[in-house]
Structure 1
């Protein structure tokens, strides 16, 4: 848990890229809308079958968008991890607290 909260952003840095179609990452992921922050544009994992257009974030693994689309709980947890990787200090704090609740 300590690594996810404090180390993942250094071990797996991410920078939002161009606008593409993909699967929701960040606060738009399933189950995270109640925590919605002031995110100017949504983040997405690139996927041609995705329904959302947003700034691309490279997923931690290339198969993550497909796996996440079949498991809403896993999708939310990896979206929180990505928020820790790319979010503002406030977003990282809220994402870390929610990730700790979800993972125990």
Structure 2
């Protein structure tokens, strides 16, 4: 199917990039035998987009979980006789595995 023809007065997108990003895009375009504009037009729809608000919320929640874990470990260290250390360790390992799975941290990393 032929591509739609671009009009000379069509919309233009201007993007500021760092010098390193520019060099990387230029090298990729040269390796593919096309201009940078062609590279971006042909492959721009293949970009992975990350919702920054969601990412910030997940990071915040993960930080809160970390604070709670630190409090739990601190309590377990102080009250060793009252805490069943084995049960606490098993619960912490389960929680760690769940967090690694949820946040994609278990890919390629051995579990302790």
With structure 1 as the length reference, what TM-score do the two structures score? 0.21
Greater fraction of residues in strand? 1
Which structure ranks higher in relative contact order (CA pairs < 8 Å, sequence separation ≥ 6)?
1
Q: Which has the larger radius of gyration?
A: 2
